[in-house]
Structure 1
């Protein structure tokens, strides 16, 4: 196989995988985890059923990879939106708001994701998760973390805790309160990032 043919095949495989991941987010958001089958995902993506099994060993791995891709794309878009900035505080504020905002725009998907992490063996170490981790670690490094690797893990844990609190059935925490706690911890101004317009800043 020529280098050009290999490159074309690699691009086709990448696109096929991304279609499957996008279809998974859509279907879980519409139907929930239990009602979404691998056959449904293949049909929505316009792919053969065997292709799902080729890329993913099971539905749990597929769903976690799909949500990690969603989070990575959402975070990347937030960091790159206009006006672009290299300011570490602003980038961290955007990152926090992007992750917390997914609990509103993709509530069922995020609740499913957290349940799978808590009920099973934690994170799936997929390419999508690694891209998300790299972007968050870069963000905390630009903010000025003394130990970006360690501080990334702390930021990840704090964001996960906030997401769980926002999605807790029957007793969710207000987004503004959780955002304020995170912003205070990292010394970020309330006006940074993308403040929730429908909620007033919490009292100091």
Structure 2
């Protein structure tokens, strides 16, 4: 049997890494961070335990990469949904709805992710985060921003704040109201993106 080519080996590594990332979001979303071990993740992914350490220095880094991959995939799905569009306002609306939707649909996972970002160790730069950042920055540019780098960072901060507000234990804010605030700030019509069934009261009412 001839040895595998470098390209085949690279593809196998990529698939192994993706299975680990997917297993992480599944398990943390089901059990929580503390109740999920690296061995659990490797077992769910069908991978050797040592493979986790080969790709990631620890569970915290693995979780951030996994959530950023999930966010990137969700954002790409919303931006590419039918009907396809190049309209910047529609694309920004879809981006906002994608992120708020994750907060509603995966509260335990997203709450854990935000809690880790807000710790002293803070935000971890990784390839998955960079893919997410590129897509979000591109959306801001298509919206018509004259300074996409600055406006991307502002949008990221506003979305993070909205996610925290949705998930705040004991005092959550309705996602619809936060959506209305963000849409008003960016001059987006309520019917753009993927609007919820009912329109909330106008901000400030």
- Structure 1 distance, partners of 2:69, 2:46, is 19
Stretches of 4+ moved more than 2 A in 1?
199-204
After superposition, residues 1-204 of structure 1 pair within 5 angstroms as 5-197=5-197, 199-203=198-202
For the 8 Å contact 2:104–2:166, the answer to whether it is kept is no
Structure 1 unaligned runs (5+)? Answer: none
- Give the aligned CA root-mean-square deviation in angstroms: 1.3
TM-score normalized with structure 1 length: 0.96
Between the aligned partners of 1:39 and 1:181, the Cα distance in structure 2 is 42
Question: Does the CA-based 8 Å contact 2:21-2:62 persist in structure 1?
Answer: yes
Separation of aligned partners in 2, 1:154 and 1:50: 39
Cα separation, 2, equivalents of 1:97 and 1:120: 29
How far apart, in 2, do the equivalents of 1:62 and 1:192 lie?
34
Deviations 1:66-103 (A, max 9, x none): 00000000000000010010000000000000000001
SS of residue matched to 1:196: coil
TM-score normalized by structure 2?
0.95
Gaps of 5+ in 2: none
Between the two proteins, the alignment pairs up a number of residues equal to 201
Tell me, what secondary structure is at the counterpart of 1:119?
A: coil
Q: CA deviation at 1:202?
A: 2.2
Secondary structure of 1:158 counterpart:
helix
